Amino acid sequence: MAGKYFEELEVGMTFQHQPSRTVTETDNLLFTALTLNPQPLHLDAEFAASTQHGRILVNSIFTLGLVVGLSVGDTTLGTTLGNLGFDKTTFPNPVFIGDTITAEIEVLSVKEGKPVTQLDIKITRQTGETVLQGEAWCYTFAPDAGQ
Contact between 21 and 70 (Cβ < 8 Å): yes
Residue 80: per-residue pLDDT: 79
**Residue 83, CA distances (Å) to 22, 130, 136 in order:** 25, 22, 7
Give buried/exposed letters for 119-134 (b at 16+ CB in 10 A, else e).
bbbbbbbeeeeebbeb
* pLDDT tier at 84, thresholds 50, 70, 90: confident
Residue 147: per-residue pLDDT: 46
Query: Tens digits of per-residue pLDDT, 126-138?
Result: 999 999 999 988 8
Question: What pTM was computed for the model?
Answer: 0.84
Query: Tens digits of per-residue pLDDT, 32-58?
Result: 999 999 899 999 999 999 999 999 999
Residues whose CB falls within 8 Å of the CB of residue 119, separated by 6 or more in sequence, listed in order: 75, 105, 106, 107, 108, 135, 136, 137, 138
CATH topology of domain 6-141: Thiol Ester Dehydrase; Chain A (3.10.129)
Segment holding 110, helix H or strand E: strand 100-111
> For residues 147 and 137, what is the distance between their CA atoms, to the nearest angstrom?
19
Domain range list for the chain: 6-141
Residue 33: per-residue pLDDT: 93
